[in-house]
Amino acid sequence: MAADCCYEVSQIAYVKLVLHALKHPSSAVNGLLLGRLRQDGSTATVEVADAVPLSHAQIGLLPALEIALIQIEEHFEAEGLSVVGYYHANERHNDLELGNAAKKIGDHIFRFFPRAAVLLLDNNKLQKLKTGKGRDPAVQLYTRDSSRSWRQTGSDGSNQLTLKEPAANIVLFDYISSEKWQQIVDFDDHLDDISKDWLNPGLFD
Site string for other proteins, 54-93 (x = CB under 8 A): ----xxxxxxx-xx-xxx--xx---------------xxx
* Interface of this chain with other proteins, residues 94 to 113, rule: CB under 8 A: 94-95, 100-101, 104, 108, 112
Out of 87, 181, 185, 189, name the contact with other proteins by CB under 8 A.
181
Cβ-Cβ contacts under 8 Å for 193 (sequence gap 6 or more): none
Beta carbon of residue 74, minimum distance to other proteins (angstroms, whole number): 6
Question: Judged by CB under 8 A, does residue 170 bind other proteins?
Answer: no
Q: How far is CA 189 from CA 25, 123, 175, 195, 197, in A?
A: 16, 24, 21, 9, 8
CB 50 within 8 A of CB 35: yes
- 38: nearest Cα among 164, 156, 137, 147: 164
Distance of alpha carbon 3 from alpha carbon 156, whole angstroms: 15
Q: Which residues bind other proteins (CB under 8 A)?
A: 21-23, 25-26, 28, 58-64, 66-67, 69-71, 74-75, 91-95, 100-101, 104, 108, 112, 123, 126-127, 130, 176-177, 179, 181, 190-192, 194-195, 197
